[in-house]
Chain A
Amino acid sequence: MKIEKAVITAASRTQRDLPLQTLIDRDGVSKSVLRILVEQVLLAHIEEVCLVVWPGDEVRYAGALEKVAGHVRFVCQDQPRGYGHAVWCAREFLHGETFLHLVSDHLYVNADGTAPAAELLDVARSEECSVSAVQITREGLLPYFGAVGGHRMAGAQGLYRIDTVLEKPTPTEAERKLSIAGLRSGYYLCFFGMHVFTPAIIDALDKQVAAAGDRAVSLSAAQADLAREQQYLALETRHRRYDIGARYGLLTAQLALGMHGPDRAEILAQLVELLANQQSAAAAGDSRR
């Protein structure tokens, strides 16, 4: 199976500025979030990246991409019709090919510095089907993620066959439909924000778009269709992802990158100094009282 293309969605009205935020990457170079993402994709031997953006954002984004801009093609989502619609907008770029898909408001960090998507792509190529990266997530976080139900693949570590996909399920629904044998109760497989999709996802999205009328189109519903119609796997990933749209998300992502780079000792020293100053200030306050 040939996988040479990637789609990154960045058209969400409320999160369009997030990929433009600047962070110090693990190599110590200051870059935009978007550039870090695209570099990670290129590291996984993907040659072409499609960035789905809101009309008019192309110039800003191209600037943020700097030296990797040449690998990126922009596609506009000109109606705010949801995540599924954003992916669907890339259909002409994809030209019926299997592709890697990421969201632009997450940063992925792995300990060994290899491409975070590499393992996912390997599985997709060997199994010749769609594969989504998932992480075991406690139920209190269900309101933030899509989640899958299914069962373990015999003889394959961390690999699951997906039966059901639900977007931000309630714990009630998750317990009834997404429980997976072998997982601790109250824990579910939630999407990591990184997928490899066969062209069948675009067929499923075609149906969703047609059925939705003017309403938003959900990617989860299309994924659920995909799971019903062909093999669709979930790969439990060891990597970490950081939602930079969450409260303190950008800060946490920066810390994670920094801790895996050459400046680790400096960052730790600064944190310790911060804590020590806080402690001594508190102690001084106590003695004055």
Chain B
Amino acid sequence: MNPLVAVITSQEPQVRDQSLDGLCAGASLEDLLAHCAALDQFRRSSENLYERVRALFFLYAIHRFRIPRVIAAAGRGLIPFSAYSNLLRRRYQESIDALQAAQRTQGPSASLSSALAAAYRGMAFQTLADQVRRSVRSVRGNQWMFRTGHPADYALRIRPELLRRADGDALFPILREATPVRMDLTHSGWSDIFFLGMDYPEGARVLNVSIDLAVRGSGAAGPRPPVEAYFRVIDEPVLRLTSVDLNATADITSVAKLFDFARDYLGLLKAAVIASGLVPSGMEGGSRPLSELLHRLIGIPAHGIEIVSKVNDIPKGSRLAVSTSLLSCLIAVCMRATRQIHALTGEVEEEDRRLIAARAILGEWLGGSGGGWQDSGGVWPGIKLIHGVRAEEGDPEYGISRGCLLPRHRIFTADEVTPEVRRRLQESLVLVHGGMAQDVGPILEMVTEKYLLRSEAEWAGRRQAVRILDEVVDQLRRGDIRAIGASTQRNFDGPIQTIIPWAGNFYTELLIRKTRQAMDPDFYGFWMLGGMSGGGMGFLFSPGRKAEGQERMAEIMSSAKRQIERAVPFAIEPVVYDFAINESGTLASFSEGGDALLPPAYYALMAPRLLRAEVRLLSPGRRAELARFSAACRQHPQFAGAVQVLFDHLLPQEHVEEKSRGPSLDALLEEYGFDRAQHERIQADLRAGRIGLAQNRLRAASEISDVPAEMLFDARCELPRRYRDLGRQALADGGVAVVSLAGGIGTRWTKGAGVVKALNPFCCLGGRQRSFVEVHLAKSLRVGRAAGTLLPHVFTTSYLTHDAIAAHLEAATNYGYPGPLLLSPGCAIGLRMIPMERDLRFAWEEMVQQVLDEQAQKVREGLRAALIAWAHQAGEGSDYRDNLPLQCLHPVGHWYELPNLMRSGVLARLIELRPKLRHLLVHNIDTVGADVDAGLLGYHIEQGAAMTAEVIERHVEDRGGGLALVDGRVRLVEGMALPDEAIESRLSCYNSATYWIDIDRMLQVFGLSRGDLADAAKVAAAVNTLAARMPTYVTLKDVKKRWGKGQEDVFPVTQFEKLWGDMTALPEWDCRFALVPRVRGQQLKEPAQLDGWLRDGSAAFVEKLCAWDRAAQGTAGQG
């Protein structure tokens, strides 16, 4: 038996828990390929879920991390298009088969391994997701919902109490559910992810506390359950869903609308309605009207249900599982109303709590989201240990996985954790929301992956986390809060960041450091909540200083945010909470008659709509509603001020807040030299269909093929000495400068949040978190110091990034960089436009793209339909203005960056500083491996070309064009310009966007000389002339619009750009192309890449290029 298969199938922990790294240490390519063959055969035949999944992760890891290290740096692999498109369509098996066939004919390559790694990884996660879905569906009490497909089969009925009305009362009683949220006291290395619990139930444990909250300083009377749900019968045959905190309401009349989760902001309520069985899943796709089902449910014709949700001022991203708690709360109220939960009011029984938790998992799957199994912990009271359970005979999971889907909850009694200890814990802990915007999804995937690979350090970290949990349980029993603080801090510093380095970040480190400075020795420790730090967090203080701690935390977070908010995405202003342990869990109350009131915010939302309608058109219930609200305003203290709020909703308000945010959009356009004539021309072309995504493409008759090896300089091996000598000489002479393109905001890096990517502290290198700017300067420092002449370094900026980068470098005293450091401000700006429907459809329907998991894909399709409707409503092709002014603007592509060097005078200044300057190394801000390599510089000089462009061997994730032979000319082609997407798979080299440029040859192409650089008018005319010859691409970008309490919407917007790579198409522009190692040329486009980048040796490669000693001196900008 293959040794890796033996590890997977072993029942002995000491065998099974071996790391893949250890097992593959020293393996040759042949050994690794033999392992892959055995593992692939094994995973195809194994019936056991766990074995299949672990084999898939082993295959992924061998292809992703091991084979690229041992494969010879020769040849270039080609990923078949069928394999690529099947990968995107989640047809993993077909993709793998095609890739294996390619590997047999082409031989192994890093390219093919990258695609195989992606396919195996995708298949592993798909297998897990399918299993969780099957398990959720097979939970007893959930199965019937998938069978019920017709109202005639529908078996739920409303409780009679909810239909009881006093004579003459048009309104029905109200059932209200209030649920605490949960915090996890020990974290335990994300052990609440479903797969871990199902595979390693012994290690899946968390200490989970139900809590009430209030945002400090919000005027709230004190902590209360953060989420509420209301349920009542209404006299209209609709399902009325209302979210008062999201200001959204909808009357749902058809089953299809209910299953359209992305149509509005009511997706969570819809998921709860379905998961509670009120409208069972089996109804999806049915043709019967919803009113028929409502009639059966209520027993009275022409009546419906209203469900209202409310989150009590808790901002999004709190890491306290607010969404899951709200989902559970909504499910609980619906299940009580339909007698699926026995108790109409008060607490719920244990078996009912478990049922709510199972339904919440189903609801999360329906809504396309996902949480951990502890997230519905707020349904249970107080402090509890939640732990995995081994699957026994009779469990649906038995024989499929080692553990059950649902964990067990053991509530600590007052004897185990005394009321006094609970009080002291409350008096020590300061809970906060740091305000950072985060995406936890990739982290949970990493946890699963690392668990299955059992990498040594991470596995040791996991075991340590399990021990820390035991320690904390013991400390709780003893009431030693100081020790708890020390344990949670140790947990964060040790196991958590060992398992996932990205759980920590610069902001959190800054907060901990400043808190320690301010409160030592009474700061006991930091406590990470949820998937990662930066959002919801805890700080433990000596009980006597909690109030001061709260004050100080507010100040520290606020000042830290101001310091780094252009570098790190923040969703909200940081907040401090007051909290209390909730000893009841979810709790319901029932009110009828005059007391049956919904929250005041509900009436503020609904009353204006009712008041605008004619009274005769309102149902008796609606009329009674207004009367009851009116009476409540006079009698109920809770409704004091409701009239004023109502007026604010009724009458137009001046947007004071927006005014205070800075200059208006028009002022910014004016300031940045917006070219309105050009904009209107582009707008007219866009609307007329002359330009657009489809028109970006080259004519279909173009002959496009891969570049033969002889037309490419292979620089992946050590370069000849003569090149290095030539390069070193140029460096010593001051013949080179570096230009880092930092005008963009990295849309994909923060999903359109609009922070300056160049300043984002993205990784811990050289002992601390470093930004892209700092890394590039550290590389220039090392090269310049070795050459004896410091390199001039330029960062090109744009209206979006200039002020932030300038201020940052000043505060950081240029990170101690001793050489010339210049900023080249952008001189062009664009105004984003509402997209055309045809472009949206082209992007979403015509182009090959990643298909999501079944339910998430359904949600995405619903969202896309809604966005197309939005584009129509907002006016296709019109200016995009409905956002913060800076979010409405866009940089116009990096083609302009080099001309800007001429226009801004920076090139002239460089020449003044270094009269022998001949060459520029230009690279993107996220190409962190690019440096002034003497060998490559020497090659470029010897060739005497205008430009040498660096390319890398294409991996599966490298999409967007590449190097091609187009109608006989070697050139870079943008992905957007390829007439057919399949062509890209035939191009083996990907553009790394790193260029060596001969300054004089460049000036020559522009029709300029060094002497002309002082003539601004001549330079501007030359730039405009050449710009007109460059193609203009229309692109779609995602832009975030923030609103409410940390809520975010993402809109697609149209913008245009010109790209430097197209210079290679100019006949007079003489180019060479060098194939460089991937570690040098790869770009970091998404944070999800970082973990692989760190593990595959790329980060270590970059560290070797850097000199941190001087650069580390200037840290003022970030601390």
Contact = CB atoms under 8 A, between A and B. Distances in A.
Q: Do A and B bind each other?
A: yes
A170 B143 contact: no
B870 interface: no
A179 B144 CA distance: 12
A174 B338 CA distance: 14
A2 interface: no
Interface string A167-205: 010111111100100000110000000000000000000
Interface centre among A140, A172, A174, A185 (most CB of B within 10 A): A172
A243 B355 CA distance: 34
Interface stretch (B153-161, B623-631, B690-698): B153-161
A170 B148 CA distance: 13
Nearest to B280: A171
Contact of A176 (B140, B148, B338): B140
Contacts of B155: 139-143, 170-171
B154 A170 contact: no
A228 interface: no
A160 B338 CA distance: 29
B339 A170 contact: yes
Given A140-B155, A141-B155, A176 B144 contact: no
B157 A171 contact: no
A186 B140 contact: no
Interface string A44-80: 0000000000000000000000000000000000000
A175 B153 contact: no
B140 A171 contact: no
Nearest to A140: B153
Interface residues of A, number: 17
A179 B147 contact: no
A171 B282 CA distance: 14
B153 A172 contact: no
B157 A172 contact: no
A139 B153 contact: yes
B144 A186 contact: yes
B340 A186 contact: no
A173 B144 CA distance: 10
B148 A140 contact: yes
Interface string B115-159: 000000000000000000000000011111001100011111100
Contacts of B147: 139, 185-186
A264 interface: no
Interface in A149-174: 168, 170-174
A138 interface: yes
- Chain A interface mostly helix, strand, loop or mixed? helix
A140 B141 contact: no
A176 B144 CA distance: 10
Contacts of A173: 141, 340
A168 to B, nearest CB: 8
A139 B277 CA distance: 14
A172 B148 contact: no
B340 A138 contact: no
A153 to B, nearest CB: 21
Contact of A175 (B143, B157, B338): B143
The SS class assigned to the B binding surface is loop
A205 B340 CA distance: 25
B154 A172 contact: no
B153 A143 contact: no
A176 B152 contact: no
A176 B154 CA distance: 17
Interface string A243-281: 000000000000000000000000000000000000000
Contacts of A138: 153
B153 A176 contact: no
Interface string B311-348: 00000000000000000000000010011100000000
A140 B156 CA distance: 8
B335 to A, nearest CB: 8
B348 to A, nearest CB: 13
Contacts of B338: 170
Nearest to A141: B155
Given A140-B148, A185-B147, A176 B157 contact: no
Nearest to B147: A186
A174 B277 CA distance: 14
Contacts of B351: 176
Contacts of B277: 171-172
Contacts of B156: 143, 170-171
A138 B153 CA distance: 8
A18 to B, nearest CB: 20
Nearest to B299: A143
B238 to A, nearest CB: 22
A179 to B, nearest CB: 7
A179 B157 CA distance: 20
Nearest to A138: B153
A52 B179 CA distance: 47
A176 B338 CA distance: 16
B841 to A, nearest CB: 42
A140 B140 CA distance: 17
A62 B413 CA distance: 63
A248 to B, nearest CB: 15
Contacts of A179: 140
Contacts of B143: 175, 185
A120 B152 CA distance: 31
A94 B147 CA distance: 44
Interface in B669-707: none
A170 B154 CA distance: 10
Given A140-B148, A140-B153, A143-B155, A170 B340 contact: yes
Nearest to B342: A173
A168 B148 CA distance: 17
Contacts of A174: 144
Given A140-B155, A170-B155, A175 B140 contact: yes
Interface in A204-254: none
A19 to B, nearest CB: 24
A65 B351 CA distance: 49
Contacts of B152: 140
A248 B154 CA distance: 20
A175 B355 CA distance: 12
A185 B157 CA distance: 21
Contacts of A142: 155
Given A139-B155, A143-B157, A170-B155, A175 B148 contact: no
A255 B81 CA distance: 68
A141 to B, nearest CB: 7
Contacts of A172: 141-142, 144, 277, 335, 340, 355
A141 B143 CA distance: 17
B868 to A, nearest CB: 38
B144 A139 contact: yes
A276 B340 CA distance: 47
A175 B396 CA distance: 14
Interface in A83-142: 138-142
A243 to B, nearest CB: 16
A74 to B, nearest CB: 30
Nearest to A170: B340
Interface string B154-180: 111100000000000000000000000
The 6 closest A-B pairs by CB, nearest first: A140-B153, A171-B144, A172-B340, A176-B141, A172-B141, A171-B155
29 contacts: A138-B153, A139-B148, A139-B153, A140-B148, A140-B153, A140-B154, A141-B155, A142-B155, A143-B156, A168-B157, A170-B155, A170-B339, A170-B340, A171-B156, A171-B277, A172-B141, A172-B142, A172-B277, A172-B335, A175-B140, A175-B142, A175-B143, A176-B140, A176-B355, A179-B140, A185-B143, A185-B147, A186-B144, A186-B147
Interface of B: 140-144, 147-148, 152-157, 277, 335, 338-340, 351, 355
Given A138-B153, A175-B140, 16 more contacts: A139-B144, A140-B152, A140-B153, A140-B154, A142-B155, A168-B157, A171-B156, A171-B277, A172-B142, A172-B277, A173-B141, A175-B144, A176-B140, A176-B351, A179-B140, A185-B147
Interface of A: 138-143, 168, 170-176, 179, 185-186
